[in-house]
Structure 1
Amino acid sequence: MLAAIALTVTLTRYEFFGDELYFLAAGRRLAFGGADQGPLVPMIAHLTQLIAPGSLLALRIPVVVLSVAGIVLSAAIAREFGGGRLPQTLAATAYATSPFMVNQSAMLSTFAFDATFLAVITWLLVRWVRTRQDWLLFVSGVVAAIDIQVKWLIPVAWVCLGIGVAVSGPRAMLRRRALWCGSAVLAAAAIPGLVWQSAHGWPQLAMGAVVGAEQDATGGGRIGCVVQMVGLAGLLGALLLAFGIWGAFRVHSVAPYRFLVLALLLYAWLIALSDGRPYYLGGMFPVAFAAGAVSLSHVGVERWMRITGIPVVAISVTTVVAALTALPLPGSWLRTPIDTASQLVQRVSLHGTEGWSQLTETVDDAYRTLTPIEQLDTVIITQNYWQASALEQFGKQYRLPAIYSPNRGFGYFDTPPDWASTVLYVGVDNAAAALRADFASVEPVARLDERLGIPGINRKLTVWKCVRPTYPWSQTWTRMMAPELEQGV
């Protein structure tokens, strides 16, 4: 309850994130698939705005529910392991004070849903081991089927769990019809997304390389990914994570669930090997924290709490409270401009995103430079999907023309019409050379460059007037499509 209140009170501390704006745009154009995510999160984003249009609070309420669910699941899994009140409290506290939970509760995201659904699956499997009620296996498949509507990560985690069971048992799980029926539900739920991917050239495959490149640029590669995974667990969480791995091989009450630890290690290895996001592992944190808390109870948790535990818990709680109250840091603290991808990630994490109104006003100013005749056949094209999503969300009052972007999922929404002979192109300062290959005339009509702004939003941004496309849009659009989030850093 305290966590729910704290998270709700601080829910609007950040402005809209770029991906949140994209989910709103995707929610207005629901489809069975997307370039890098399924339809569930955009659908929920759309529903929240039907209930409370423009409300940032309504948009983020689902992540509070998911974050609290992660805390409860951590305690519930510890209880299934045979842990009493203290181990349950310790596991729940570890999740509640983890940097992962702070990030999960900060904005509407796919990983907030994916992590909680995976945690539910692990709880169902743990409960099956204790009770042997086969319906739990089928329900786990149903939850996985829902999760695949969020992101295409759950099949990987599902296979890792299966390998863990095959290696360490209980192998009787693999002989249960309910498990295979649940797996069939998961496979069937993947079909609409696979059909969409096939019809659109399998953009999800290209996104793997893009995510890897972004991770290398901001996280220090595979070693950095592993370090970040541990960092996302937090001080208390990292300690319980280590004890959980140890306890799976040394503690009698945790040993029957060793397959979960093996699955966690395999999943973490695959994430790092593929240059994935470190937060992909977050769905395994509840079971890891629970295993660690119960393992501690077998080595004298009361004594540990008196000597080490209380300071560790106090530091963890203080850190998360400070993060929730202090972040985002005020803009007056900014001193240096953003010139690298890692600086951009740090800036967004500590200060959030801003500059959407400046972006919208700049584009509107550029649009007003056109003659009434030119405005009739004008569309707006943005270099990245954040810009397009922001202009669509905040540009309603300006009566801007139709907005398109060839970037990531936005590029699959629609193609500009062939009657569009004038384009206002919103992009980074060096975009002119590429544009001249597609238009007869290209000239800058507006520029936005706040020294301490965010590249691509209110820094290093130019609006170009592009006249007379060289080729039909059906050809040009395919060539312009790009999965990378270009922001000029």
Structure 2
Amino acid sequence: MLIDEPDTRRRTPRALHPPATWPVLGIAGVLALAHAIAGAFGDYWIDEVYMLAAGKYHPSWGYVDQPPLTPMIAAAMDVIALDSMFVLRLPAALASGGAVVLIALLARELGADRRAQAIAAFAGATGLWSNLIGHWVAPYTFEPLLWTALLLPLVRWLRQHAQGVADDRLLLVFGVLLGINLQLKFQVVLLCAALLVSALAVGPRAVLTRPLLWAGAGIALLIGSPTLIWQALHGWPQLAMSSIVAQESPMLSGGRGGTAVQLVLYAGVLGTALVLAGLWLLLSRSWLRPYRMFAVAMILLWVFFVVTAGRPYYLIGMYGLPIAAATVGLQRRREAKPPRWGWAAWPVYALSLVAAGMLIYSGNSINREFSAALTQIDSDRVSDAIAQDVSRAYLSLPAEQRTRTAVIGENYISAAMLEVGGEHHPLPDVFSPHRGYGYFDAPSDEIDTIVYYGRDAEELRPYFTDIRPATPGENLKGWIATGKTQPWSTIWPALKSL
């Protein structure tokens, strides 16, 4: 039978092994608890404070650099418990644990017994990148959960199709989950493109002939339409972000070479070994042939992200599938010939666990160092320190002048910190011409005085006659600009930058 021909013969479905409920839930629960505890301390991560500011002060159906789901989650948590880092980050911790459960379910779909499911869950729980960011409210924190959830109904359909009993309603579920993914990050479009090419190349092509697959795609477009329409109305700024990501690649990941390595190594000590082994098994073993398209898709995405100098965490949502395949491969080998050196795996488990634990509890230190490098401020709460000093500069102005004053942050990070920190310090409206903030509201023409927070104020000099240092606070790197020479309708488009 050709690989792209559906098998219409009725077969007895292969029974799945019982779920490893308590081992998997235990691993996921410990991980979620560790992230919840770690998340209760420290300051906002730079992307996290932007998510909160965007969702709380600038709710929208779309943003320049991401869809609205993560900002909505951050804003909702802030409504539930204002200023509570624990509550704000609780969805991230739960998502990190939930992704582990789904990886174990993927392994079960491929034929894993309870032991193999637990190993898959452990590998998923000890990923390097996931444990570093697993308690920060950012799109890439939720991506492993949603990508794995997206792949699960497709894997189940492929298993059933190989047995001749596929339930096409699973393809509708795939469409719903795809729509939710579209509200999180647009990289899922690349995943779907890679899966489409892979299905055409190595099969099973039968999935592409199912009407409910395309009905599911229609549902996905319907769910994702608000943010897609927003992007279309604003000239698709998300597409322009790819060049910005490439420009930042040398600083963040060491360029394309660093990205190539980290795209795999972020799976963790045990995870990296299983991802590589799983890819090989998916490509070479006949019993995994129905799922070969996933290995091809992952390799295609790896090549694409390296060539385009993408972020080194763009593949974290795909780790679960090859990890699942590898654990089943180990199980089949164990069943065929019990290993004599099974104890040798325990040092790998121990090293994986130690590395993951170190990353979870070093995240706040890494966050502090990164924020200090960006802001030149060494503080446990950088956002509050910035807001306090800018507020002092603002309050140093005469009362009448303050009615015509706004604050501008040099970049989206400082603007977000000022808006969030401004909850506790008197500040006027905060703006920034950078990235997503440049697409928020611009200052009104009544504004003729600016308190500017940034390294220098050179970009303002063509539009203000007087720019002097603002020095009320010990941390402030800012200026006060007066004597506006042009309307903001002219100034703002000239300042906007991604």
Asked if these proteins are the same fold (TM beyond 0.5), I'd say yes
Structure 2: unaligned runs, 5 residues or longer: 1-28, 161-165
> After superposition, what is the alpha-carbon deviation per residue over 1:151-187, rounded to whole angstroms, capped at 9, x for unaligned?
1111110111111211111111111111111112223
Displacement of 1:447:
7.6
Distance 1:160 1:33, change over 3 A: same
Answering whether residue 389 of structure 2 is matched by residue 362 of structure 1, we say: yes
Contact 2:410–2:452 (CA under 8 A) maintained in structure 1: yes
Contact 1:442–1:467 (CA under 8 A) maintained in structure 2: yes
Contact 1:363–1:446 (CA under 8 A) maintained in structure 2: no
Answering whether residue 267 of structure 2 is matched by residue 233 of structure 1, we say: yes
> After superposition, what is the alpha-carbon deviation per residue over 1:46-75, rounded to whole angstroms, capped at 9, x for unaligned?
111111111111111111121111111111
Say which is worse superposed, 304-313 or 387-396, in terms of deviation.
304-313
Please show how residues 254-403 of structure 1 align to structure 2 within 5 Å.
254-300=288-334, 303=339, 306-329=342-365, 354-403=381-430
**1:67 paired residue among 88, 96, 101:** 96
**C-alpha separation in 1, matches of 2:185 and 2:427:** 32
Opposite residue 472 of structure 1, the aligned amino acid is: P
**C-alpha separation in 2, matches of 1:319 and 1:6:** 14
Opposite residue 46 of structure 1, the aligned amino acid is: A
Contact 1:447–1:463 (CA under 8 A) maintained in structure 2: no
Please show how residues 457-472 of structure 1 align to structure 2 within 5 Å.
462-472=477-487
Contact 1:439–1:470 (CA under 8 A) maintained in structure 2: yes
Answering whether residue 226 of structure 2 is matched by residue 198 of structure 1, we say: no
Number of the residue aligned with 1:481: 496
Distance 1:396 1:4, change over 3 A: closer
Displacement of 1:15:
1.4
Say which is worse superposed, 224-233 or 322-331, in terms of deviation.
322-331
Aligned residues: 462
Number of the residue aligned with 2:204: 170
> After superposition, what is the alpha-carbon deviation per residue over 1:80-124, rounded to whole angstroms, capped at 9, x for unaligned?
111112221111111101112203413001012222211111111
**C-alpha separation in 1, matches of 2:340 and 2:284:** 18
Contact 2:409–2:431 (CA under 8 A) maintained in structure 1: yes
Number of the residue aligned with 2:192: 158
Say which is worse superposed, 216-225 or 233-242, in terms of deviation.
216-225
Contact 2:435–2:497 (CA under 8 A) maintained in structure 1: yes
**C-alpha separation in 2, matches of 1:103 and 1:412:** 30
TM-score by length of 1: 0.89
**C-alpha separation in 2, matches of 1:276 and 1:353:** 31
Answering whether residue 52 of structure 2 is matched by residue 24 of structure 1, we say: yes
CA RMSD of aligned residues (A): 2.6
Report the 3-state secondary structure (helix = DSSP H, G, I; strand = E; otherwise coil) of the residue aligned with 1:14.
coil
Number of the residue aligned with 1:12: 40
Contact 1:377–1:419 (CA under 8 A) maintained in structure 2: yes
Distance 1:353 1:224, change over 3 A: farther
**C-alpha separation in 1, matches of 2:379 and 2:135:** 10
**2:257 paired residue among 212, 220, 223:** 223
**1:103 paired residue among 132, 136, 140:** 132
Displacement of 1:267:
1.3
Identity across matched positions, percent: 33
Answering whether residue 443 of structure 2 is matched by residue 416 of structure 1, we say: yes
> After superposition, what is the alpha-carbon deviation per residue over 1:179-220, rounded to whole angstroms, capped at 9, x for unaligned?
111112223334332332233233212211111111122212
**C-alpha separation in 1, matches of 2:59 and 2:367:** 36
**C-alpha separation in 1, matches of 2:366 and 2:99:** 30
Report the 3-state secondary structure (helix = DSSP H, G, I; strand = E; otherwise coil) of the residue aligned with 1:465.
strand
Displacement of 1:448:
6.8
Report the 3-state secondary structure (helix = DSSP H, G, I; strand = E; otherwise coil) of the residue aligned with 2:454.
strand
Distance 1:109 1:338, change over 3 A: closer
Opposite residue 141 of structure 2, the aligned amino acid is: A
> After superposition, what is the alpha-carbon deviation per residue over 1:323-367, rounded to whole angstroms, capped at 9, x for unaligned?
3345434999x8x9977xxxx69x99xx99742222112112211
**C-alpha separation in 1, matches of 2:416 and 2:285:** 51
Contact 1:17–1:352 (CA under 8 A) maintained in structure 2: no
Contact 1:164–1:263 (CA under 8 A) maintained in structure 2: yes
Say which is worse superposed, 171-180 or 395-404, in terms of deviation.
395-404
**C-alpha separation in 2, matches of 1:262 and 1:68:** 27
Opposite residue 89 of structure 2, the aligned amino acid is: R
4+ residue segments displaced more than 6 Å: 336-339
Contact 2:305–2:314 (CA under 8 A) maintained in structure 1: yes
> After superposition, what is the alpha-carbon deviation per residue over 1:383-402, rounded to whole angstroms, capped at 9, x for unaligned?
11121111111223322111
Displacement of 1:307:
4.8
Distance 1:331 1:11, change over 3 A: closer
Distance 1:387 1:139, change over 3 A: same
Structure 1: unaligned runs, 5 residues or longer: 450-457, 484-489
